[in-house]
Each structure stands twice: as C-alpha cells, then as structure tokens.
C-alpha cells in the first residue's frame, strides 16, 4: 500500500508539472504577441498627431506588468514541483525505478529551463522596444519644438528632418525583422511541445531496442546539423538587413 501511495504521489506531481507547463506555454505565446502588437501600435501612433492619447500603450504597459507577474508565479510553482520530484527520487524504496524517474525529472527540468530563458528573452525584447520608441518619440518632440520656435525651415532643419526620417525607416525595418523573428519563435514553440512529447516516447523505445537507439542518435546528429545551418542562414539574413538599414 505504501508503494501505491508513493506511485500516486509521483503521478500527482507529474500531472501538476504538465498542467503548469501547458499554462506557461499559452502565457508565453500571448506574451510574445503583446510585444509585437506594442511595436505595431507605436509605429501607427507616430503617423498621427502628437496630441493622440497614449491610452493604448498605457494599457499594453499594464498588461505587460500583469503578464510578467503571472508568468513569474507560474515559473516559481513549476520550480517548486520539480524540487518535490527531485526529493521523491531520493526517497527510500525508489531505487529500482530511479533511472526512469530521473529521466522524467530531467525532461521537466529542461522544459522549465527553456520556458525561463524564453520569458527573459521576450521580456528583454519588450523593454528594448519600449526604450527605443520612447527615445525616438523624444527626438521627434525636440524637432517639432525647434520648428515651432524658429518659424523657418532653414538648411539645418531640413537636414535634421531627413536624418530623422532615415531613423524612422530603419526603425520600421528593425520592427519588421523582430516581428518575423517572433512569429518564427511562436511556430517553433508550438512545434517544440510536439517534438518533446514524440522524443520522450521514442527515447522509451530506444532504451528497449539498441538498434533504434543508434538510429535516433544519427537522427539527432542530423537535426543538430540542420539547426546550425538554419541558424547560420538566419544570422546572415539579419546582418544583411541591418547593413541595409543603416547604409
């Protein structure tokens, strides 16, 4: 009976971990979309009058703060569940199942690490976009103040305006690049969950059949090679876009 109770406890922990992971996956997708919509709305506001209310972005700022807190709480809960699972693997009487338990625990730890990294990366991108948009808005206000104060469109003002227009075009190109990257990340995030589930099942079969294990190793090597090639292509494209933008 004690073994049955311990088994139920482990399954309860796994169920909690999977539920938290699903919630985090949905939250991170919404969080990423918030960053994209924030940049787009700021782009649209630049084409309107400076007297346009900032309600939209103020609302998005509040949503950003709220979602950040919610995601951090979910990450903390998932960390606590992983810690409980780690404690369970050290419980006397689980030695015969320890290899399988550690494999499952490591998989949940990897998922937690991926979600934590993704959250901090998306949050950093959001803050960078907001800081850049605030800076460009300040530059535009300075230009408008200068124009209204001087009352004439002299040569210096024209050069200043041309440079500002060039900055706006470069900024839009950067925003488009970020949007493409975020859309790609959302697609990869969706595929990652499916691949992790498939990989877990394949690993179980691989442990039973050595021939399959060798085949999986070759597949993993090819997958890493394809990932390096894809990463190189994306990096080169990004560098070319940056060179074009600031040319």
Taking 60 as the threshold, does the pLDDT of residue 47 lie above it?
no
152-210 pLDDT per residue, tens? 556 677 777 777 777 777 777 777 777 787 777 777 777 777 777 777 776 666 566 66
Dist. CA 26–CA 190, nearest whole Å: 10
- Compute how many other C-beta atoms are within 10 angstroms of the C-beta atom of residue 23: 15
68-125 pLDDT per residue, tens? 999 999 999 999 999 999 888 887 766 567 788 889 889 999 999 999 999 999 888 8
Dist. CA 80–CA 213, nearest whole Å: 33
Q: What is the pLDDT of residue 221?
A: 82
- Tell me what the mean pLDDT of segment 201-220 comes to: 68
Dist. CA 70–CA 75, nearest whole Å: 9
Dist. CA 50–CA 28, nearest whole Å: 32
163: left (phi over 0), alpha (psi -120 to 50) or beta: alpha
Tell me, yes or no, if the pTM score tops 0.75: no
Contact 143, 167 (CB under 8 A): no
């Amino acid at each position: 009976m004690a073994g049955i109770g311990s088994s139920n406890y482990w399954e309860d922990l796994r169920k909690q971990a999977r539920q938290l992971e699903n919630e985090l996956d949905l939250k991170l997708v919404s969080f990423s979309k918030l960053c994209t919509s924030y940049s787009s709305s700021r782009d649209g506001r630049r084409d309107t009058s400076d007297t346009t209310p900032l309600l939209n972005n103020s609302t998005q700022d509040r949503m950003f703060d709220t979602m950040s807190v919610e995601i951090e709480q979910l990450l903390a809960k998932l960390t606590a569940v992983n810690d409980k699972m780690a404690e369970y693997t050290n419980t006397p009487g689980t030695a015969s199942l320890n290899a399988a338990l550690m494999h499952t625990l490591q998989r949940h730890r990897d998922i937690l690490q991926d979600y934590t990294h993704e959250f901090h990366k998306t949050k950093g991108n959001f803050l960078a976009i907001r800081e850049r948009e605030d800076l460009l808005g300040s530059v535009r206000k300075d230009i408008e103040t200068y124009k209204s104060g001087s009352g004439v469109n002299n040569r210096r003002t024209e050069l200043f305006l041309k440079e500002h227009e060039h900055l706006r075009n470069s900024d839009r190109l950067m925003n488009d690049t970020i949007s493409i990257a975020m859309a790609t990340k959302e697609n990869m995030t969706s595929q990652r969950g499916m691949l992790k589930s498939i990989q877990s099942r394949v690993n179980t079969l691989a442990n039973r059949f050595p021939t399959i294990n060798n085949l999986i190793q070759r597949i993993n090597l090819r997958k890493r090679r394809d990932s390096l090639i894809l990463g190189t292509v994306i990096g080169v494209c990004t560098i070319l876009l940056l060179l074009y933008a600031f040319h």
